Structure 1
Amino acid sequence: MLVDDDTLRILDSSRFDGAKMFLPGQLDRPAYAKVVKVIEAAGGKWNRKASAHLFDGDAAEAIEPILLTGEVTRTKQEFGQFDTPPELADQLVELADLHPGMKVYEPSAGVGNIVAAVIRKLESGAGIFGCEIDPKRHAECVRRNYSAFGAGGLDLWDFLAIEPNPVFDRLIMNPPFARQADIDHVLHAYGFLKPGGRLVAIMSASVSFRDNKKTIAFREFVGGCNGTIELLPDGAFRSSGTDVKTAVVVLNSPD
C-alpha cells in the first residue's frame, strides 16, 4: 500500500508511547480515514479506553518503516546499513568533485562500494580513510580495497564515538537510516571537513518532508551550509534489498 505525503506528515507528527499511538489533534474526515487505513494495515487498532491506537509491539517501530519507504508492506525490513549500488556510488563521487591529493573519508564504509568508486575516480591518487563498526563488513572492505588503505586507514569503530578533526577535503557516506540516525551521522561527519571541503551523503528522503524538530533543524543546517537535498528516483536501492526512499544531501564547508 502506497502512502501519500500528507498522510506521511500526519504519521510523523503523531506521538508515541510504547504500544500507543496518538494522532496530532483533530483531522478532517478524509485525512483521518486515510491515516487510519495505514495504521490498521501496520497492525494498529483503535482503543477507546486508551484514547489511542494500540499495537502489539512498539508503535513507533511499526510506523518508522512507513516513513522511510512511503508504503506499508508485510515484509519486515531493518533500516540499518544497506550497501550503496556501484552506479550510485559513482554519482556520489562525481558530486564530491574529487581531485588527486585530496584526503577522502568514508565514515560508514560497509563493504567498500563507495571506497571502490573513489579508487575508480582517482586511481593511484586516492588517499582514503574510513570507519566501519561491523567486523565482517570491515574485513570485506579491507580485502577488496587493501591497497587504498595502505597509506590511510580503516577504523573498526563506532563513528559517532570518534572526536571530530577537520582534516578531510571530502566526506562521502551512506549512513544507517533507522530512527533518523542518518541525521546524527551527517551532522557528526560535518565536523571532519576542512574549510572549503564538501560532504556528500545518501540519506532517507524523509529529511525533505518530516516536520519534527530534529528534521526542521537539519534542513536549516543544510541551508546554512549552502547545501542541497535532491530526491533520488524510486527503487534506487532495490538492488541492495530495500525500497527505502532516498535523497542525496550535499554540504559545503565555508573557506
Structure 2
Amino acid sequence: MSRRIDSAVLAVIERADTSGNALRLVGQLDRKTYTAVNGVLEAVGGRWDRKAKAHLFACDADDALEQILLTGEVLTTKTKQQEFGFFETPEPIARRAVAAAHIQPGALVLEPSAGHGAIARILRAAGATVRCIELLPENASELVGQGFNVQEADFLTVAPTAIYDRVVMNPPFAKHADIKHVTHALQFLKPGGRLTSIMSNGPTFRTDRRTVEFNDLIRSLGGTVEPLPEGAFKASGTMVNTIMVSAEVAA
C-alpha cells in the first residue's frame, strides 16, 4: 500500500541538501508545509536533530529518499515487487522498446532481468533468438516454461561477453540500479550492437556523479532519451515516471 505525496511537499524534498545520513531543508517554509514535509521524512526514517540542524537517517539520506523521489509516494507496506524492483513491462511499452531496437530476423538478443517474458515474447515474435537472465527463481521457471533460454542469476554478477546484436531491457530502478544495469549491459554488445532500455526518469533531472557520468556515456555513444507516457506502469503497480534510452556501440 502507498499514499501520494503532495507535489509542493515533494518539490521541497527534491530541493533539500543531503550529505551522508543528513538532510537539510532549503529556504523558509510555512508551518503547514513544514509539518507535511516533516511527516513524509519521518515516514521514511528521518528524525529532526536540533544539534545537527538536520533530519538524520539510519542510512544514507539519498537511499532513504530514493523511492519517494521515484514514485511520489510513501510506501506503507512493501510488496515483493517493490522489494526486488520487478514490475512487469506493459505490452504497449514492451512493443515500443522492441520497435526502437530495430530487430532483424535471426538477431541474437539478450534480455536481462526478463521477468515474466513480456519483452522476450515480442522479441521472439520479431524473429530474434532470445537469451534471458533472471534473478527470481519463480520468474526463471516461468520463462523456461515459455521455451526461453534462461540463466538464473543476478545480471550484475554475470561476466560480459560481447556477442549480442541487441540488448532490450527493463531493469530495476531503485538506488541507481537501472544505471548500473544499462552500463553493464552495454558490455554485452558486439561492435555495431544496439541497446534499448526502459529506465526511471532519474537521468533527466538528477545531478549526482553517477547520473552525470551515465548521461555523458549515453551522449558519447550518440544515444537518445525518450520520455514515456506518465503512468505507463500504473497497471504493473508503480507510478514511477519512465524514459526509454537507446544507444549503439561503435562498429
TM surpasses 0.5: yes
Aligned partner of 2:15 in structure 1 is 10
Aligned partner of 1:173 in structure 2 is 169
Alpha-carbon deviation of 1:231? 1.7
From the superposition, tell whether residues 33 and 109 of structure 1 become closer, same or farther in structure 2 (CA, over 3 Å). Answer: same
Q: Give, in whole Å, the separation in 2 of the partners of 1:169 and 1:31.
A: 55
Aligned partner of 1:134 in structure 2 is 136
Aligned partner of 2:152 in structure 1 is 156
1:186 partner SS: helix
| Structure 1 residues without counterparts, runs of 5 or longer | none
Cα offsets for 1:197-252 (capped at 9, x unmatched)? 11000111111111110001101111001011222121110111111111111111
Aligned partner of 1:104 in structure 2 is 109
Q: 1:186 aligns with which of 179, 182, 186?
A: 182
Contact 1:131 1:156 in 2 (8 A): yes
Aligned partner of 1:248 in structure 2 is 244
Contact 1:108 1:173 in 2 (8 A): yes
Q: Give, in whole Å, the separation in 2 of the partners of 1:36 and 1:94.
A: 47
Q: Give, in whole Å, the separation in 1 of the partners of 2:154 and 2:58.
A: 32
Q: Which amino acid aligns with 1:197?
A: G
Q: Give, in whole Å, the separation in 1 of the partners of 2:199 and 2:30.
A: 28
Contact 1:10 1:23 in 2 (8 A): no
Aligned partner of 2:118 in structure 1 is 113
Q: Which amino acid aligns with 2:193?
A: G
Alpha-carbon deviation of 1:81? 1.5
Cα offsets for 1:150-172 (capped at 9, x unmatched)? xxx21011211111111101000
Contact 1:96 1:172 in 2 (8 A): yes
Q: Give, in whole Å, the separation in 2 of the partners of 1:206 and 1:181.
A: 11
Identity of aligned residues (%): 38
Aligned partner of 2:39 in structure 1 is 40
Aligned partner of 2:73 in structure 1 is 72
Alpha-carbon deviation of 1:107? 1.1
Contact 2:13 2:37 in 1 (8 A): no
Structure 2 length as normaliser, TM-score?
A: 0.85
CA RMSD, 1 decimal: 2.5
Aligned partner of 1:231 in structure 2 is 227
Q: Which amino acid aligns with 2:177?
A: A
| Structure 2 residues without counterparts, runs of 5 or longer | none
Alpha-carbon deviation of 1:86? 1.4
Aligned partner of 1:85 in structure 2 is 90
